[in-house]
Amino acid sequence: MGDRDNKENKENKKNKENEEKKESKESKENNIEGIVEFNEWQVIDLRVAQIKKVEDISGADKLYKLTLDVGEEIGERVICAGIKQYYSKEELEDKKIVVFVNLKPRLMRGIESQGMLLAAVSGDHSEVVLVCPEKSIKNGCKIS
């Protein structure tokens, strides 16, 4: 019986490895980097936020410091965003955007960035377009 169990375990392990290789190959063929499990996706907290203040960061050519209103539940957040070459301060002020709010904070140029905005980026990085709600909606609303 022990030999039979070992053989079954080896076959199961081999089948699992083949399945993982197949998934990896499929994702590479479709130019998709990695596969996210549904339970991992459920952890990500995306919210509507309004940009209240846009500031230059000393010595940073690409970064703005953005102060955001993320609604009553979350409140105010500060993020750093590398969008300076694509948007003027005037274009950004009062704009509603989508923000990843439960991303681990990161120190950027001495500023704690408390999230990340979402944007579409062309392959050569010549275009960056912010992800924004199509219609007016309350700050802090969840994206699902």
Domain definitions of the chain by residue range: 46-142
> 46-142, which class in CATH?
mainly beta
**1: which DSSP letter?**
-
According to the model, what pLDDT value does residue 33 have?
84
Distance CA 44, CA 129 (A): 21
According to the model, what pLDDT value does residue 31 have?
76
Model confidence, pTM: 0.77
Distance CA 58, CA 80 (A): 12
SS3 131: coil
Distance CA 28, CA 44 (A): 24
Model pLDDT for residues 9-61, shown as the tens digit of each residue: 666 666 556 565 555 555 556 778 889 899 989 999 999 999 999 999 999 99
Contact yes or no for 81/117 (Cβ under 8 A): yes
Element (H, E) at 66: strand 64-69
Q: Smallest Cα–Cα separation from 92: which of 53, 134, 46?
A: 53
Count of Cβ atoms closer than 10 Å to residue 89 Cβ: 14
Amino acid at 119: A
Model pLDDT for residues 92-138, shown as the tens digit of each residue: 999 999 999 999 999 999 999 999 999 999 999 999 999 999 999 99
